[in-house]
Amino acid sequence: MKIKVFISSVQKELEDERLALQILLTTEPFLSEHCVPILYEDCVFRAKVTTHSGAK
């Protein structure tokens, strides 16, 4: 079972840092074996797509 690492910030200035963390967690062998990054932006995007795709 992998540990979910939720990465979030409302500050636009930290966007590069959030993406760097995502890259690190998915490319570093030990971390990628034990962790999965969850970016807030991805969660919001999926929620909007799900909400809008079901609406008529």
How many domains would you assign to the chain? 1
4 contacts 24 by C-beta, under 8 angstroms: no
Q: Which two tokens stand for residue 33?
A: 């074996």
d(CA 3, CA 24): 14
Structure confidence at residue 47 as a pLDDT band (50, 70, 90): low
**35 is in which domain, residue-wise?**
3-54
pLDDT at position 28: 97
CB-based contacts of 41: which residues, under 8 Å, 6+ apart? 18
Q: Is the pLDDT of residue 45 over 60?
A: no
Q: pLDDT of 19-44, one tens digit each? A: 899 999 999 999 999 999 998 777 76
Q: What angle do CA 55, 41, 23 make, to 5 degrees?
A: 140
Whose tokens are 């959030």? That residue is: 18
